[in-house]
Amino acid sequence: MKIAIIGLGSVGSAVATAVANTGMAQEIVLFDRDGVRARAAAEDLGHAAAFSYDIKITAVNNYRAIRGSEIVIIAAGANQKPGQTRTDLLHANAAVINDIVPRVMANVDAKNVKLIIVTNPLDVMVMLAQKISKLPPARVIGTGTMLDSARLRTILSRQLSVSTQSINAYVLGEHGDSSMINWSSACIGGIDLNTFCKQTKNSLPTSTRKTIEHRVRNAAYEIIRGRGATWDGIAGAVADLVRCIVNDEHRILTVSTLGAMYNKPISISLPRIVGRSGIIATLQPKMSTDETIAFRRSARIIRRNFDAL
Protein backbone atom coordinates (compact mmCIF):
# COMPACT_ATOMS: atom_id res chain seq x y z
CA MET A 1 0.00 0.00 0.00
CA LYS A 2 1.14 3.54 -0.75
CA ILE A 3 0.47 6.12 1.97
CA ALA A 4 1.00 9.88 1.67
CA ILE A 5 1.68 12.17 4.63
CA ILE A 6 1.14 15.91 4.16
CA GLY A 7 2.85 18.09 6.78
CA LEU A 8 6.13 16.93 8.31
CA GLY A 9 6.31 18.96 11.49
CA SER A 10 6.44 17.38 14.95
CA VAL A 11 3.23 15.42 14.36
CA GLY A 12 3.76 14.43 10.72
CA SER A 13 7.29 13.17 11.43
CA ALA A 14 6.16 11.10 14.42
CA VAL A 15 3.22 9.79 12.38
CA ALA A 16 5.60 8.79 9.57
CA THR A 17 7.76 6.84 12.03
CA ALA A 18 4.78 5.13 13.66
CA VAL A 19 3.16 4.24 10.32
CA ALA A 20 6.47 2.93 8.95
CA ASN A 21 6.81 0.77 12.07
CA THR A 22 3.44 -0.89 11.46
CA GLY A 23 4.99 -2.55 8.41
CA MET A 24 1.70 -1.94 6.60
CA ALA A 25 3.04 0.38 3.90
CA GLN A 26 5.23 -0.59 0.96
CA GLU A 27 5.69 3.06 0.08
CA ILE A 28 5.39 6.29 2.06
CA VAL A 29 5.56 9.68 0.35
CA LEU A 30 6.11 12.85 2.35
CA PHE A 31 5.05 16.34 1.33
CA ASP A 32 5.56 19.58 3.21
CA ARG A 33 5.52 23.11 1.86
CA ASP A 34 8.97 23.27 3.43
CA GLY A 35 10.70 20.89 1.01
CA VAL A 36 13.98 20.88 2.94
CA ARG A 37 12.18 19.63 6.03
CA ALA A 38 10.37 16.90 4.08
CA ARG A 39 13.62 15.72 2.46
CA ALA A 40 15.40 15.62 5.82
CA ALA A 41 12.53 13.63 7.34
CA ALA A 42 12.62 11.14 4.43
CA GLU A 43 16.39 10.69 4.84
CA ASP A 44 16.15 10.11 8.58
CA LEU A 45 13.18 7.75 8.28
CA GLY A 46 14.86 5.84 5.48
CA HIS A 47 17.81 5.18 7.78
CA ALA A 48 15.49 3.99 10.56
CA ALA A 49 13.65 1.72 8.13
CA ALA A 50 16.92 -0.10 7.43
CA PHE A 51 16.45 -1.60 10.92
CA SER A 52 12.85 -2.70 10.37
CA TYR A 53 10.97 -3.06 7.07
CA ASP A 54 11.88 -2.58 3.43
CA ILE A 55 9.82 0.51 2.71
CA LYS A 56 10.33 3.05 -0.01
CA ILE A 57 10.24 6.45 1.72
CA THR A 58 10.51 9.55 -0.43
CA ALA A 59 10.03 13.27 -0.01
CA VAL A 60 8.16 14.82 -2.92
CA ASN A 61 7.92 18.43 -4.00
CA ASN A 62 4.68 18.22 -5.94
CA TYR A 63 1.30 16.60 -5.45
CA ARG A 64 1.53 14.49 -8.63
CA ALA A 65 3.87 12.20 -6.74
CA ILE A 66 1.15 11.16 -4.28
CA ARG A 67 -0.70 9.38 -7.15
CA GLY A 68 -1.62 5.83 -6.22
CA SER A 69 -1.90 6.59 -2.47
CA GLU A 70 -4.80 4.75 -0.88
CA ILE A 71 -4.48 6.67 2.38
CA VAL A 72 -3.56 10.36 2.66
CA ILE A 73 -2.80 11.65 6.15
CA ILE A 74 -3.07 15.42 6.63
CA ALA A 75 -1.00 16.61 9.58
CA ALA A 76 -0.10 20.07 8.27
CA GLY A 77 -0.90 23.38 9.89
CA ALA A 78 -0.33 25.51 12.93
CA ASN A 79 -0.14 23.82 16.31
CA GLN A 80 -1.18 25.21 19.70
CA LYS A 81 1.30 27.48 21.41
CA PRO A 82 1.25 27.52 25.22
CA GLY A 83 -2.06 29.06 26.33
CA GLN A 84 -3.78 28.63 22.94
CA THR A 85 -6.84 26.43 22.48
CA ARG A 86 -7.41 24.27 19.42
CA THR A 87 -10.20 26.61 18.33
CA ASP A 88 -7.70 29.47 18.19
CA LEU A 89 -6.23 27.69 15.15
CA LEU A 90 -9.54 27.69 13.26
CA HIS A 91 -8.94 30.27 10.53
CA ALA A 92 -5.22 29.63 10.00
CA ASN A 93 -5.76 25.90 9.59
CA ALA A 94 -8.90 26.24 7.47
CA ALA A 95 -6.62 28.04 4.99
CA VAL A 96 -4.21 25.08 5.14
CA ILE A 97 -6.99 22.53 4.47
CA ASN A 98 -8.31 24.75 1.66
CA ASP A 99 -4.84 24.71 0.13
CA ILE A 100 -4.11 21.00 0.52
CA VAL A 101 -7.34 19.10 -0.13
CA PRO A 102 -8.01 20.26 -3.74
CA ARG A 103 -4.41 19.38 -4.68
CA VAL A 104 -4.72 15.98 -3.05
CA MET A 105 -8.02 15.27 -4.78
CA ALA A 106 -6.58 16.19 -8.18
CA ASN A 107 -4.10 13.34 -7.81
CA VAL A 108 -5.79 10.43 -6.04
CA ASP A 109 -8.42 7.89 -6.97
CA ALA A 110 -11.59 9.42 -5.49
CA LYS A 111 -13.31 6.03 -5.59
CA ASN A 112 -10.89 4.48 -3.16
CA VAL A 113 -8.86 7.04 -1.22
CA LYS A 114 -9.25 7.52 2.54
CA LEU A 115 -8.31 10.91 4.02
CA ILE A 116 -7.13 10.84 7.61
CA ILE A 117 -7.35 14.29 9.18
CA VAL A 118 -5.13 15.19 12.13
CA THR A 119 -5.02 19.00 11.86
CA ASN A 120 -6.81 20.96 14.62
CA PRO A 121 -9.46 22.02 15.39
CA LEU A 122 -10.01 18.46 14.32
CA ASP A 123 -13.77 18.07 13.90
CA VAL A 124 -14.19 21.30 11.94
CA MET A 125 -11.24 20.41 9.70
CA VAL A 126 -12.89 17.05 8.94
CA MET A 127 -16.09 18.86 7.92
CA LEU A 128 -14.12 21.24 5.73
CA ALA A 129 -12.05 18.47 4.11
CA GLN A 130 -15.22 16.50 3.36
CA LYS A 131 -16.90 19.55 1.85
CA ILE A 132 -13.94 20.32 -0.40
CA SER A 133 -13.15 16.74 -1.39
CA LYS A 134 -16.81 15.72 -1.90
CA LEU A 135 -15.77 12.24 -0.77
CA PRO A 136 -18.30 10.07 1.05
CA PRO A 137 -18.05 10.97 4.77
CA ALA A 138 -17.10 7.35 5.52
CA ARG A 139 -13.74 8.01 3.84
CA VAL A 140 -12.91 11.36 5.46
CA ILE A 141 -11.86 10.26 8.91
CA GLY A 142 -10.60 12.43 11.76
CA THR A 143 -8.57 10.86 14.54
CA GLY A 144 -11.21 12.43 16.77
CA THR A 145 -11.12 11.36 20.39
CA MET A 146 -8.95 8.27 19.80
CA LEU A 147 -6.13 10.07 21.60
CA ASP A 148 -8.40 11.40 24.38
CA SER A 149 -9.80 7.87 24.90
CA ALA A 150 -6.25 6.49 25.10
CA ARG A 151 -5.46 9.12 27.73
CA LEU A 152 -8.54 8.08 29.71
CA ARG A 153 -7.67 4.38 29.49
CA THR A 154 -4.11 5.11 30.62
CA ILE A 155 -5.30 6.99 33.71
CA LEU A 156 -7.89 4.30 34.56
CA SER A 157 -5.30 1.58 34.05
CA ARG A 158 -2.98 3.19 36.63
CA GLN A 159 -5.80 3.95 39.03
CA LEU A 160 -7.37 0.47 38.90
CA SER A 161 -4.23 -1.62 38.24
CA VAL A 162 -5.62 -3.28 35.14
CA SER A 163 -4.23 -3.31 31.60
CA THR A 164 -5.37 -0.58 29.17
CA GLN A 165 -6.10 -3.47 26.75
CA SER A 166 -8.92 -4.69 29.01
CA ILE A 167 -10.55 -1.28 29.38
CA ASN A 168 -13.39 -0.19 27.09
CA ALA A 169 -13.94 3.45 27.99
CA TYR A 170 -14.52 6.31 25.63
CA VAL A 171 -14.11 10.04 25.45
CA LEU A 172 -16.72 11.34 22.98
CA GLY A 173 -17.76 14.64 21.42
CA GLU A 174 -15.32 17.30 20.26
CA HIS A 175 -11.58 16.63 20.15
CA GLY A 176 -11.24 19.78 22.22
CA ASP A 177 -12.23 21.52 25.40
CA SER A 178 -15.86 20.32 25.29
CA SER A 179 -15.01 16.60 25.07
CA MET A 180 -16.90 14.40 27.56
CA ILE A 181 -16.33 11.02 29.19
CA ASN A 182 -19.03 8.45 28.52
CA TRP A 183 -18.87 6.84 31.97
CA SER A 184 -22.21 5.09 31.40
CA SER A 185 -20.80 2.77 28.74
CA ALA A 186 -17.40 2.16 30.37
CA CYS A 187 -16.59 -1.46 31.11
CA ILE A 188 -13.58 -3.55 32.01
CA GLY A 189 -13.30 -7.16 30.94
CA GLY A 190 -16.96 -7.06 29.90
CA ILE A 191 -18.04 -5.91 33.39
CA ASP A 192 -19.52 -2.44 33.85
CA LEU A 193 -17.18 -0.01 35.60
CA ASN A 194 -19.15 0.25 38.87
CA THR A 195 -19.40 -3.52 39.28
CA PHE A 196 -15.71 -3.88 38.41
CA CYS A 197 -14.83 -1.35 41.13
CA LYS A 198 -16.98 -3.22 43.70
CA GLN A 199 -15.48 -6.60 42.83
CA THR A 200 -11.88 -5.32 42.95
CA LYS A 201 -12.44 -3.13 46.05
CA ASN A 202 -11.66 0.04 44.11
CA SER A 203 -13.71 3.19 44.23
CA LEU A 204 -14.23 5.93 41.68
CA PRO A 205 -16.37 8.55 43.44
CA THR A 206 -17.69 11.58 41.54
CA SER A 207 -14.82 13.75 42.79
CA THR A 208 -12.25 11.29 41.36
CA ARG A 209 -14.16 11.09 38.08
CA LYS A 210 -14.14 14.88 37.83
CA THR A 211 -10.39 14.94 38.42
CA ILE A 212 -9.90 12.29 35.73
CA GLU A 213 -12.07 14.29 33.33
CA HIS A 214 -9.97 17.38 34.02
CA ARG A 215 -6.70 15.49 33.49
CA VAL A 216 -7.87 13.98 30.19
CA ARG A 217 -9.10 17.32 28.86
CA ASN A 218 -5.94 19.12 29.93
CA ALA A 219 -3.40 16.48 28.93
CA ALA A 220 -2.45 18.30 25.70
CA TYR A 221 -1.97 21.60 27.57
CA GLU A 222 0.33 19.90 30.11
CA ILE A 223 2.39 18.22 27.38
CA ILE A 224 2.65 21.46 25.37
CA ARG A 225 3.86 23.25 28.51
CA GLY A 226 6.49 20.57 29.06
CA ARG A 227 7.80 19.82 25.54
CA GLY A 228 6.33 22.51 23.26
CA ALA A 229 3.96 20.25 21.31
CA THR A 230 2.38 16.79 21.42
CA TRP A 231 3.32 14.15 18.87
CA ASP A 232 3.86 10.63 20.22
CA GLY A 233 0.29 10.00 21.38
CA ILE A 234 -1.30 11.17 18.14
CA ALA A 235 1.26 9.21 16.12
CA GLY A 236 0.19 6.06 18.00
CA ALA A 237 -3.45 6.85 17.25
CA VAL A 238 -2.85 7.39 13.53
CA ALA A 239 -0.78 4.19 13.22
CA ASP A 240 -3.56 2.25 14.97
CA LEU A 241 -6.15 3.73 12.59
CA VAL A 242 -3.99 2.89 9.55
CA ARG A 243 -3.59 -0.70 10.81
CA CYS A 244 -7.33 -1.00 11.30
CA ILE A 245 -8.02 0.23 7.74
CA VAL A 246 -5.32 -1.73 5.94
CA ASN A 247 -6.12 -5.01 7.72
CA ASP A 248 -9.87 -4.41 7.41
CA GLU A 249 -10.06 -5.10 11.16
CA HIS A 250 -13.60 -3.79 11.86
CA ARG A 251 -12.42 -2.54 15.24
CA ILE A 252 -14.35 0.11 17.16
CA LEU A 253 -12.52 3.43 17.31
CA THR A 254 -13.74 6.83 18.46
CA VAL A 255 -13.07 8.63 15.19
CA SER A 256 -14.75 11.76 13.88
CA THR A 257 -16.73 11.88 10.66
CA LEU A 258 -19.58 13.86 9.17
CA GLY A 259 -23.06 12.63 10.04
CA ALA A 260 -26.50 13.92 10.87
CA MET A 261 -26.51 15.07 14.48
CA TYR A 262 -29.56 16.76 15.95
CA ASN A 263 -30.78 17.40 12.37
CA LYS A 264 -27.57 19.09 11.30
CA PRO A 265 -24.49 17.72 9.55
CA ILE A 266 -21.75 17.67 12.18
CA SER A 267 -18.46 15.82 12.47
CA ILE A 268 -18.04 14.50 15.99
CA SER A 269 -16.53 11.48 17.71
CA LEU A 270 -18.63 8.44 18.53
CA PRO A 271 -17.60 4.77 18.66
CA ARG A 272 -17.41 3.59 15.05
CA ILE A 273 -16.58 0.36 13.25
CA VAL A 274 -13.62 0.97 10.94
CA GLY A 275 -12.30 -1.18 8.10
CA ARG A 276 -10.78 -1.10 4.60
CA SER A 277 -13.68 0.91 3.17
CA GLY A 278 -13.41 3.51 5.95
CA ILE A 279 -16.18 3.96 8.50
CA ILE A 280 -18.60 1.06 8.33
CA ALA A 281 -21.04 1.92 11.14
CA THR A 282 -21.62 4.46 13.89
CA LEU A 283 -22.73 3.27 17.32
CA GLN A 284 -24.92 5.19 19.78
CA PRO A 285 -23.70 4.32 23.29
CA LYS A 286 -25.80 4.50 26.43
CA MET A 287 -25.54 8.00 27.98
CA SER A 288 -26.83 9.47 31.23
CA THR A 289 -28.84 12.71 31.08
CA ASP A 290 -25.75 14.75 32.04
CA GLU A 291 -23.67 13.00 29.41
CA THR A 292 -26.31 13.65 26.74
CA ILE A 293 -26.32 17.34 27.67
CA ALA A 294 -22.51 17.48 27.46
CA PHE A 295 -22.46 15.65 24.12
CA ARG A 296 -25.11 17.98 22.65
CA ARG A 297 -23.15 21.00 23.84
CA SER A 298 -20.04 19.62 22.17
CA ALA A 299 -21.94 19.12 18.89
CA ARG A 300 -23.26 22.71 19.07
CA ILE A 301 -19.74 24.07 19.58
CA ILE A 302 -18.35 22.18 16.59
CA ARG A 303 -21.19 23.33 14.35
CA ARG A 304 -20.83 26.94 15.53
CA ASN A 305 -17.10 26.90 14.75
CA PHE A 306 -17.74 25.45 11.31
CA ASP A 307 -20.38 28.10 10.62
CA ALA A 308 -17.85 30.78 11.64
CA LEU A 309 -15.65 29.89 8.67
| Binding residue for ligand NAD, selected from 37, 215, 297, 300, defined by CB under 6 A | 37
Helical H segments across 23-142, by residue range: 35-49, 90-105, 122-133
Number of residues that bind ligand NAD (CB under 6 A): 32
The reply to whether omega before 205 is within 30° of 0 (cis) is no
Task: Rule CB under 6 A: say whether 122 interacts with ligand NAD.
Answer: yes
Residues in 268-297 that interact with ligand NAD by CB under 6 A:
none
CA atoms of 25 and 65, how far apart (whole Å): 16
Radius of gyration of the chain (CA): 19
Q: Which residues contact 67 (CB under 8 A, 6 or more apart)?
A: 107, 108
- Select the residue whose beta carbon is closest to ligand NAD and give its number: 9
Phi, psi of 75 (to 5 degrees): -125, 25
CA atoms of 256 and 299, how far apart (whole Å): 11
260 by DSSP, 3-state: which?
strand
One character per residue 184-213, x = contact with ligand NAD (rule: CB under 6 A): ------------------------------
Residues in 59-78 that interact with ligand NAD by CB under 6 A:
75-78
Task: Rule CB under 6 A: say whether 93 interacts with ligand NAD.
Answer: yes
Provide the β-strand partners of residue 257. Answer: 268
Task: Give least dist CB 154 to ligand NAD, A.
Answer: 15
Distances from the Cα of 122 to the Cα of 34, 84, 175, 237, angstroms: 22, 15, 6, 14
One character per residue 228-267, x = contact with ligand NAD (rule: CB under 6 A): -xx---x---------------------------------
Task: Rule CB under 6 A: say whether 222 interacts with ligand NAD.
Answer: no
Q: Which is nearer to ligand NAD, 92 or 283 (CB)?
A: 92
One character per residue 147-186, x = contact with ligand NAD (rule: CB under 6 A): x---------------------------x-----------
One character per residue 7-26, x = contact with ligand NAD (rule: CB under 6 A): xxxxxx--------------
Cα angle value 288/290/293 (rounded, 5°): 110
61 by DSSP, 3-state: which?
coil
The residue range among 60-68, 226-234, 245-253, 276-284 that interacts with ligand NAD, by the rule CB under 6 A, is 226-234
Q: Pick from 19, 255, 251, 264: which is nearest to 141 by CA?
A: 255
| Binding residue for ligand NAD, selected from 118, 140, 180, 219, defined by CB under 6 A | 118
Instruction: Give the H/E segment covering residue 298.
Output: helix 289-307
| Binding residue for ligand NAD, selected from 67, 81, 91, 99, defined by CB under 6 A | 99
Q: Contact, 97 vs 130, CB < 8 A?
A: no
Q: Does residue 250 have an active-site annotation?
A: no
CA atoms of 86 and 227, how far apart (whole Å): 17
The residue range among 89-97, 104-112, 275-283, 287-295 that interacts with ligand NAD, by the rule CB under 6 A, is 89-97
Q: Contact, 70 vs 2, CB < 8 A?
A: yes
Catalytic residues: 175
Residues that bind ligand NAD (CB under 6 A): 6-12, 32-34, 37, 75-80, 89, 93, 96, 99-100, 118-120, 122, 143, 147, 175, 229-230, 234
